[in-house]
Protein backbone atom coordinates (compact mmCIF):
# COMPACT_ATOMS: atom_id res chain seq x y z
CA UNK A 1 0.00 0.00 0.00
CA UNK A 2 1.14 3.52 -0.77
CA UNK A 3 0.32 7.08 0.19
CA UNK A 4 -0.10 9.42 -2.78
CA UNK A 5 1.26 12.96 -2.50
CA UNK A 6 0.88 15.94 -4.80
CA UNK A 7 3.25 18.85 -4.20
CA UNK A 8 3.17 22.24 -5.90
CA UNK A 9 5.63 25.11 -5.57
CA UNK A 10 4.68 28.53 -6.89
CA UNK A 11 6.10 32.04 -6.63
CA UNK A 12 2.85 34.01 -6.61
CA UNK A 13 4.38 37.36 -7.58
CA UNK A 14 2.69 38.99 -4.54
CA UNK A 15 -0.67 38.71 -6.30
CA UNK A 16 -3.91 36.95 -5.41
CA UNK A 17 -4.25 33.82 -7.50
CA UNK A 18 -7.31 33.64 -9.76
CA UNK A 19 -9.11 30.46 -8.63
CA UNK A 20 -11.21 29.95 -11.76
CA UNK A 21 -8.09 30.29 -13.94
CA UNK A 22 -5.74 28.29 -11.72
CA UNK A 23 -8.02 25.38 -10.80
CA UNK A 24 -8.37 23.69 -14.22
CA UNK A 25 -4.59 23.11 -14.35
CA UNK A 26 -3.88 22.35 -10.68
CA UNK A 27 -3.88 18.55 -11.06
CA UNK A 28 -2.27 18.42 -14.52
CA UNK A 29 0.44 16.03 -13.28
CA UNK A 30 -2.13 13.32 -12.49
CA UNK A 31 -2.87 10.65 -15.05
CA UNK A 32 -6.33 10.72 -16.52
CA UNK A 33 -8.70 8.69 -14.40
CA UNK A 34 -6.39 8.49 -11.37
CA UNK A 35 -7.90 9.08 -7.96
CA UNK A 36 -7.26 12.19 -5.90
CA UNK A 37 -4.02 12.03 -3.86
CA UNK A 38 -4.31 11.77 -0.10
CA UNK A 39 -2.21 14.92 0.42
CA UNK A 40 -2.00 18.14 -1.56
CA UNK A 41 0.86 20.41 -0.47
CA UNK A 42 1.16 24.01 -1.70
CA UNK A 43 4.58 25.62 -1.19
CA UNK A 44 4.13 29.34 -1.86
CA UNK A 45 6.58 32.21 -2.17
CA UNK A 46 5.92 35.95 -2.62
CA UNK A 47 2.45 35.06 -1.41
CA UNK A 48 1.37 38.70 -0.83
CA UNK A 49 2.78 42.25 -0.68
CA UNK A 50 5.38 42.77 2.02
CA UNK A 51 3.15 44.83 4.31
CA UNK A 52 0.43 42.17 4.42
CA UNK A 53 2.94 39.31 4.64
CA UNK A 54 4.93 40.79 7.52
CA UNK A 55 1.83 41.75 9.51
CA UNK A 56 0.23 38.38 8.75
CA UNK A 57 -3.04 37.22 10.26
CA UNK A 58 -6.20 38.47 8.58
CA UNK A 59 -4.17 40.49 6.07
CA UNK A 60 -3.34 37.20 4.34
CA UNK A 61 -6.84 35.70 4.49
CA UNK A 62 -7.84 36.72 0.93
CA UNK A 63 -4.63 35.23 -0.48
CA UNK A 64 -5.02 31.89 1.30
CA UNK A 65 -8.75 31.75 0.65
CA UNK A 66 -8.09 32.12 -3.09
CA UNK A 67 -6.01 28.93 -3.00
CA UNK A 68 -8.64 27.16 -0.89
CA UNK A 69 -11.24 28.10 -3.49
CA UNK A 70 -8.98 26.89 -6.31
CA UNK A 71 -8.53 23.53 -4.56
CA UNK A 72 -12.29 23.24 -4.10
CA UNK A 73 -12.89 23.97 -7.79
CA UNK A 74 -10.21 21.50 -8.89
CA UNK A 75 -11.35 18.63 -6.67
CA UNK A 76 -13.35 15.89 -8.38
CA UNK A 77 -13.97 12.58 -6.62
CA UNK A 78 -13.05 13.92 -3.16
CA UNK A 79 -12.93 17.23 -1.32
CA UNK A 80 -9.97 18.42 0.77
CA UNK A 81 -9.51 19.65 4.33
CA UNK A 82 -6.93 22.39 4.90
CA UNK A 83 -5.10 20.92 7.90
CA UNK A 84 -2.20 23.40 7.98
CA UNK A 85 -1.57 26.97 6.79
CA UNK A 86 1.29 29.10 8.02
CA UNK A 87 3.68 31.73 6.72
CA UNK A 88 7.00 33.26 7.61
CA UNK A 89 6.97 36.62 5.91
CA UNK A 90 6.35 36.17 2.20
CA UNK A 91 6.85 32.39 2.25
CA UNK A 92 3.90 30.14 3.05
CA UNK A 93 2.89 26.50 3.27
CA UNK A 94 -0.59 25.02 2.92
CA UNK A 95 -1.29 21.32 3.47
CA UNK A 96 -4.59 19.73 2.41
CA UNK A 97 -5.66 16.22 3.36
CA UNK A 98 -8.31 14.34 1.40
CA UNK A 99 -11.60 14.40 3.29
CA UNK A 100 -11.71 10.64 3.90
CA UNK A 101 -8.21 10.53 5.46
CA UNK A 102 -8.00 13.91 7.21
CA UNK A 103 -8.71 12.35 10.61
CA UNK A 104 -5.62 10.16 10.16
CA UNK A 105 -3.47 13.26 10.73
CA UNK A 106 -2.75 12.79 14.42
CA UNK A 107 -0.36 15.63 15.31
CA UNK A 108 1.50 18.59 13.85
CA UNK A 109 4.68 20.51 14.47
CA UNK A 110 5.70 23.69 12.66
CA UNK A 111 8.93 25.58 12.10
CA UNK A 112 9.95 28.85 10.48
CA UNK A 113 13.06 30.89 9.72
CA UNK A 114 13.75 34.20 7.99
CA UNK A 115 16.63 34.45 5.54
CA UNK A 116 16.51 37.98 4.17
CA UNK A 117 17.73 41.31 5.48
CA UNK A 118 18.21 41.07 9.27
CA UNK A 119 16.81 37.52 9.01
CA UNK A 120 13.35 38.92 8.32
CA UNK A 121 11.02 36.95 6.11
CA UNK A 122 11.40 38.64 2.74
CA UNK A 123 13.17 35.33 2.07
CA UNK A 124 12.78 32.33 4.34
CA UNK A 125 11.37 28.89 4.96
CA UNK A 126 8.36 27.42 6.74
CA UNK A 127 7.84 23.76 7.50
CA UNK A 128 5.43 21.28 8.99
CA UNK A 129 6.00 17.78 10.36
CA UNK A 130 2.94 15.63 10.87
CA UNK A 131 1.95 12.21 12.06
CA UNK A 132 -0.25 10.10 9.79
CA UNK A 133 -1.88 6.94 11.13
CA UNK A 134 -4.53 4.97 9.27
CA UNK A 135 -6.52 2.62 11.47
CA UNK A 136 -4.90 -0.49 10.02
CA UNK A 137 -1.29 0.75 9.77
CA UNK A 138 1.55 2.05 11.90
CA UNK A 139 2.06 5.79 12.23
CA UNK A 140 4.34 7.41 9.67
CA UNK A 141 5.81 10.92 9.67
CA UNK A 142 5.97 13.43 6.83
CA UNK A 143 7.96 16.68 6.72
CA UNK A 144 7.19 19.38 4.15
CA UNK A 145 9.25 22.55 3.72
CA UNK A 146 8.53 25.60 1.57
CA UNK A 147 11.57 27.83 0.96
CA UNK A 148 12.60 31.00 -0.84
CA UNK A 149 16.32 31.67 -1.18
CA UNK A 150 18.62 34.48 -2.33
CA UNK A 151 18.05 35.89 -5.84
CA UNK A 152 20.21 37.10 -8.76
CA UNK A 153 22.67 35.30 -11.00
CA UNK A 154 25.64 36.15 -8.77
CA UNK A 155 23.90 34.99 -5.56
CA UNK A 156 25.16 31.40 -5.71
CA UNK A 157 27.15 31.52 -2.45
CA UNK A 158 24.28 33.28 -0.65
CA UNK A 159 21.89 30.54 -1.76
CA UNK A 160 24.21 27.88 -0.38
CA UNK A 161 24.44 29.86 2.85
CA UNK A 162 20.65 30.15 2.96
CA UNK A 163 20.32 26.38 2.82
CA UNK A 164 22.86 26.05 5.61
CA UNK A 165 20.82 28.46 7.74
CA UNK A 166 17.62 26.55 6.99
CA UNK A 167 19.25 23.36 8.26
CA UNK A 168 20.55 25.16 11.36
CA UNK A 169 17.50 27.26 12.26
CA UNK A 170 14.38 25.62 10.84
CA UNK A 171 13.59 23.78 14.05
CA UNK A 172 10.45 21.76 14.81
CA UNK A 173 9.33 21.96 18.43
CA UNK A 174 6.07 20.69 19.96
CA UNK A 175 3.93 23.19 21.82
CA UNK A 176 3.91 21.96 25.43
CA UNK A 177 0.98 24.18 26.43
CA UNK A 178 -1.70 22.34 24.46
CA UNK A 179 -2.40 19.48 22.13
CA UNK A 180 -1.60 20.40 18.55
CA UNK A 181 -4.50 21.66 16.50
CA UNK A 182 -4.66 21.20 12.73
CA UNK A 183 -7.23 23.96 12.32
CA UNK A 184 -6.13 27.38 11.18
CA UNK A 185 -8.21 30.43 11.94
CA UNK A 186 -9.95 30.57 8.56
CA UNK A 187 -10.86 26.88 8.21
CA UNK A 188 -13.45 25.71 10.72
CA UNK A 189 -13.85 22.35 8.97
CA UNK A 190 -10.35 21.10 9.76
CA UNK A 191 -10.12 18.36 12.40
CA UNK A 192 -9.10 18.83 15.99
CA UNK A 193 -6.08 16.59 16.53
CA UNK A 194 -6.13 14.28 19.49
CA UNK A 195 -2.92 12.29 18.95
CA UNK A 196 0.27 12.57 20.94
CA UNK A 197 3.65 13.37 19.43
CA UNK A 198 5.94 10.32 19.75
CA UNK A 199 8.29 10.41 22.71
CA UNK A 200 11.35 10.23 20.45
CA UNK A 201 10.27 13.46 18.74
CA UNK A 202 9.55 15.74 21.70
CA UNK A 203 12.87 17.60 21.63
CA UNK A 204 14.24 20.08 19.10
CA UNK A 205 14.68 18.56 15.66
CA UNK A 206 15.64 20.02 12.29
CA UNK A 207 14.60 19.08 8.79
CA UNK A 208 16.96 16.07 8.77
CA UNK A 209 15.07 13.72 11.05
CA UNK A 210 15.57 9.96 10.85
CA UNK A 211 11.94 8.97 11.44
CA UNK A 212 10.37 11.19 8.79
CA UNK A 213 10.05 11.54 5.05
CA UNK A 214 11.29 14.93 3.84
CA UNK A 215 10.06 16.99 0.89
CA UNK A 216 11.82 20.30 0.27
CA UNK A 217 10.34 22.66 -2.33
CA UNK A 218 10.33 26.30 -3.30
CA UNK A 219 11.77 29.12 -5.32
CA UNK A 220 15.34 28.08 -4.59
CA UNK A 221 16.54 30.70 -7.08
CA UNK A 222 19.53 28.79 -8.51
CA UNK A 223 20.23 30.10 -12.01
CA UNK A 224 21.96 29.00 -15.20
CA UNK A 225 24.77 31.58 -15.16
CA UNK A 226 26.77 33.69 -12.73
CA UNK A 227 26.51 36.69 -15.07
CA UNK A 228 23.56 38.64 -16.42
CA UNK A 229 22.66 37.86 -20.04
CA UNK A 230 23.97 39.98 -22.87
CA UNK A 231 21.82 41.00 -25.88
CA UNK A 232 23.67 38.31 -27.83
CA UNK A 233 22.74 35.70 -25.20
CA UNK A 234 19.11 36.73 -25.48
CA UNK A 235 19.21 36.32 -29.24
CA UNK A 236 21.22 33.10 -29.46
CA UNK A 237 20.89 31.13 -26.22
CA UNK A 238 17.50 31.86 -24.68
CA UNK A 239 15.47 28.66 -25.22
CA UNK A 240 12.41 28.32 -27.41
CA UNK A 241 10.08 25.35 -27.98
CA UNK A 242 11.83 22.78 -30.17
CA UNK A 243 11.93 18.99 -30.01
CA UNK A 244 15.32 18.83 -31.70
CA UNK A 245 17.95 18.53 -28.95
CA UNK A 246 20.66 19.57 -31.40
CA UNK A 247 18.99 22.94 -31.80
CA UNK A 248 21.00 25.54 -29.79
CA UNK A 249 17.70 26.87 -28.49
CA UNK A 250 16.53 23.55 -27.08
CA UNK A 251 16.19 24.07 -23.31
CA UNK A 252 18.25 20.96 -22.49
CA UNK A 253 21.36 22.87 -23.57
CA UNK A 254 20.70 25.49 -20.91
CA UNK A 255 19.71 22.87 -18.34
CA UNK A 256 23.30 21.57 -18.49
CA UNK A 257 24.33 24.88 -16.85
CA UNK A 258 21.93 24.57 -13.91
CA UNK A 259 23.66 25.75 -10.75
CA UNK A 260 21.60 23.67 -8.35
CA UNK A 261 22.41 20.39 -10.06
CA UNK A 262 26.11 21.28 -9.85
CA UNK A 263 25.92 22.33 -6.20
CA UNK A 264 24.04 19.18 -5.13
CA UNK A 265 26.59 16.98 -6.90
CA UNK A 266 29.40 18.90 -5.20
CA UNK A 267 27.78 18.43 -1.77
CA UNK A 268 27.34 22.18 -1.23
CA UNK A 269 23.55 22.38 -1.01
CA UNK A 270 20.47 20.19 -0.39
CA UNK A 271 22.77 17.55 1.08
CA UNK A 272 21.49 14.01 0.61
CA UNK A 273 18.31 15.08 -1.20
CA UNK A 274 17.34 14.01 -4.70
CA UNK A 275 15.11 15.19 -7.53
CA UNK A 276 13.18 13.50 -10.29
CA UNK A 277 14.57 14.10 -13.82
CA UNK A 278 13.72 17.52 -15.23
CA UNK A 279 11.94 17.36 -18.57
CA UNK A 280 10.24 20.74 -18.64
CA UNK A 281 11.31 24.25 -19.71
CA UNK A 282 12.73 26.92 -17.39
CA UNK A 283 10.20 28.23 -14.91
CA UNK A 284 11.59 31.80 -14.62
CA UNK A 285 11.71 34.64 -15.72
CA UNK A 286 8.82 35.09 -18.14
CA UNK A 287 7.49 38.29 -19.63
CA UNK A 288 3.80 37.96 -18.87
CA UNK A 289 0.94 39.20 -21.02
CA UNK A 290 -1.71 40.50 -18.63
CA UNK A 291 -4.31 40.26 -21.38
CA UNK A 292 -3.97 36.46 -21.23
CA UNK A 293 -4.93 34.97 -17.84
CA UNK A 294 -3.05 31.79 -18.78
CA UNK A 295 -0.51 31.01 -21.51
CA UNK A 296 -0.23 27.42 -22.70
CA UNK A 297 2.63 25.70 -24.51
CA UNK A 298 2.02 24.37 -27.99
CA UNK A 299 1.46 25.44 -31.54
CA UNK A 300 3.52 28.40 -32.70
CA UNK A 301 3.53 29.93 -29.22
CA UNK A 302 7.05 31.11 -28.31
CA UNK A 303 8.28 31.63 -24.77
CA UNK A 304 8.48 35.31 -23.93
CA UNK A 305 11.46 35.89 -21.64
CA UNK A 306 12.46 38.96 -19.64
CA UNK A 307 15.76 39.99 -21.30
CA UNK A 308 17.62 40.98 -18.11
CA UNK A 309 17.51 37.53 -16.42
CA UNK A 310 18.69 34.12 -17.58
CA UNK A 311 15.84 31.65 -18.03
CA UNK A 312 16.34 29.26 -15.12
CA UNK A 313 14.84 26.36 -13.21
CA UNK A 314 14.35 28.38 -10.01
CA UNK A 315 11.33 26.41 -8.81
CA UNK A 316 12.17 22.89 -7.64
CA UNK A 317 10.96 19.97 -5.53
CA UNK A 318 13.45 17.67 -3.78
CA UNK A 319 13.00 14.74 -1.43
CA UNK A 320 15.01 12.40 0.78
CA UNK A 321 15.04 8.98 -0.83
CA UNK A 322 15.66 5.86 1.23
CA UNK A 323 16.10 2.26 0.21
CA UNK A 324 13.56 0.81 2.67
CA UNK A 325 10.77 3.34 2.00
CA UNK A 326 11.58 4.63 -1.46
CA UNK A 327 9.79 7.69 -2.83
CA UNK A 328 8.36 6.91 -6.26
CA UNK A 329 7.93 9.98 -8.48
CA UNK A 330 5.07 9.57 -10.92
CA UNK A 331 5.32 12.89 -12.75
CA UNK A 332 7.49 15.99 -12.32
CA UNK A 333 6.53 18.92 -14.52
CA UNK A 334 5.54 22.57 -14.67
CA UNK A 335 2.09 24.08 -15.13
CA UNK A 336 1.23 26.83 -17.65
CA UNK A 337 2.23 30.45 -17.18
CA UNK A 338 -0.36 32.50 -15.29
CA UNK A 339 -0.57 36.26 -15.81
CA UNK A 340 -0.25 36.96 -12.08
CA UNK A 341 3.40 35.78 -11.88
CA UNK A 342 6.63 35.63 -13.89
CA UNK A 343 7.19 32.07 -12.57
CA UNK A 344 5.52 28.88 -13.71
CA UNK A 345 4.33 26.55 -10.93
CA UNK A 346 6.13 23.22 -10.61
CA UNK A 347 4.37 20.05 -9.45
CA UNK A 348 5.43 16.60 -8.31
CA UNK A 349 3.08 13.63 -8.09
CA UNK A 350 4.68 10.88 -6.00
CA UNK A 351 3.90 7.97 -3.72
CA UNK A 352 5.56 6.63 -0.58
CA UNK A 353 5.05 3.24 1.09
CA UNK A 354 2.45 3.35 3.81
CA UNK A 355 4.86 2.44 6.60
CA UNK A 356 7.17 4.23 9.06
CA UNK A 357 10.68 5.29 8.16
CA UNK A 358 13.20 3.19 10.03
CA UNK A 359 15.80 5.24 11.89
CA UNK A 360 19.06 5.38 9.99
CA UNK A 361 22.13 3.70 11.42
CA UNK A 362 23.76 7.11 11.11
CA UNK A 363 22.42 8.86 14.18
CA UNK A 364 22.66 12.35 12.69
CA UNK A 365 22.61 12.76 8.92
CA UNK A 366 22.26 16.56 9.04
CA UNK A 367 25.16 18.38 7.35
CA UNK A 368 25.04 21.15 9.98
CA UNK A 369 24.15 21.25 13.66
CA UNK A 370 21.14 23.15 15.00
CA UNK A 371 21.96 26.71 16.09
CA UNK A 372 21.20 26.98 19.80
CA UNK A 373 20.20 30.64 19.34
CA UNK A 374 17.56 29.92 16.66
CA UNK A 375 14.59 30.81 18.87
CA UNK A 376 15.87 34.20 20.09
CA UNK A 377 17.03 35.13 16.58
CA UNK A 378 13.61 34.37 15.16
CA UNK A 379 11.84 36.35 17.90
CA UNK A 380 14.08 39.35 17.26
CA UNK A 381 13.50 39.15 13.52
CA UNK A 382 9.74 38.90 14.06
CA UNK A 383 9.73 42.18 15.98
CA UNK A 384 11.50 43.84 13.06
CA UNK A 385 8.99 42.32 10.63
CA UNK A 386 6.10 43.95 12.49
CA UNK A 387 7.76 47.38 12.35
CA UNK A 388 8.66 47.06 8.67
CA UNK A 389 5.28 45.54 7.87
CA UNK A 390 3.42 48.42 9.52
CA UNK A 391 5.55 50.95 7.66
CA UNK A 392 4.98 49.18 4.34
CA UNK A 393 1.27 48.91 5.02
CA UNK A 394 0.93 52.62 5.76
CA UNK A 395 3.13 53.74 2.87
CA UNK A 396 2.37 51.24 0.11
CA UNK A 397 -1.33 50.32 0.40
CA UNK A 398 -4.45 52.38 -0.24
CA UNK A 399 -6.05 51.46 3.05
CA UNK A 400 -2.78 52.21 4.84
CA UNK A 401 -2.54 55.60 3.11
CA UNK A 402 -6.11 56.37 4.16
CA UNK A 403 -5.37 55.38 7.76
CA UNK A 404 -2.21 57.47 7.82
CA UNK A 405 -3.96 60.54 6.41
CA UNK A 406 -6.84 60.14 8.85
CA UNK A 407 -4.37 59.85 11.73
CA UNK A 408 -2.50 62.97 10.67
CA UNK A 409 -5.73 64.92 10.21
CA UNK A 410 -6.95 63.74 13.60
CA UNK A 411 -3.68 64.70 15.27
CA UNK A 412 -3.62 68.15 13.68
CA UNK A 413 -7.28 68.70 14.53
CA UNK A 414 -6.71 67.66 18.12
CA UNK A 415 -3.72 69.98 18.42
CA UNK A 416 -5.73 72.91 17.05
CA UNK A 417 -8.55 72.25 19.50
CA UNK A 418 -6.17 72.08 22.46
CA UNK A 419 -4.36 75.21 21.25
CA UNK A 420 -7.61 77.18 20.96
CA UNK A 421 -8.62 76.06 24.47
CA UNK A 422 -5.31 77.16 25.95
CA UNK A 423 -5.53 80.55 24.23
CA UNK A 424 -9.10 81.17 25.33
Report pLDDT digits (tens) over 201-241.
Answer: 667 899 999 899 999 999 999 999 999 999 999 999 999 99
pLDDT given for residue 361 in this prediction: 45
Share of the chain above pLDDT 90, in %: 74
SS (H, E, C) 318-378: EECCCCCCCCEEEEEEECCEECCCCCCCEEEEEEEECCCCCCCCCCCCCCCCCCCCHHHHH
Instruction: Give the domain ranges of the chain.
Output: 2-399
pLDDT given for residue 183 in this prediction: 43
pLDDT class of 243 with cuts at 50, 70, 90: confident
What's the predicted TM-score (pTM) here? 0.92
> Which tens digits make up the pLDDT trace of 112-139?
999 989 999 999 999 999 999 998 889 9
pLDDT class of 424 with cuts at 50, 70, 90: low
Distance (Å, rounded) from C-alpha 164 to C-alpha 221?
A: 15
Collapsed DSSP state (helix, strand, coil) of residue 3 = strand
CATH number for the 2-399 domain, one of 3.20.20.140, 3.40.50.2020, 3.40.50.300, 3.60.10.10?
3.60.10.10
C-alpha of 153 from chain center? 21
> Which tens digits make up the pLDDT trace of 156-189?
999 999 999 999 999 998 744 334 444 444 454 4
Amino acid sequence: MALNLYLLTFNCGRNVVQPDVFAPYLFDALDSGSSSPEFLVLCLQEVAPIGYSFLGGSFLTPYFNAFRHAVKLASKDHSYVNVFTRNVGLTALMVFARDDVADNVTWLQMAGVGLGVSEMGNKGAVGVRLGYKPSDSEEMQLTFVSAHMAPMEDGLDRRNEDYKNIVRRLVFVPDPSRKPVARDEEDEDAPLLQGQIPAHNTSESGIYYNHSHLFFAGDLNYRTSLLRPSPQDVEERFPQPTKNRDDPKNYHNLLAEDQLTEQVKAGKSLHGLTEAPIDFPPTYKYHTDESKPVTLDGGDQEWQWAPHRWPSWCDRIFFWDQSDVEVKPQKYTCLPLFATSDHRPVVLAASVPLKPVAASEQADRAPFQIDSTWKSRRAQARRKELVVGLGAYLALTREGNALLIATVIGAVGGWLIIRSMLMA
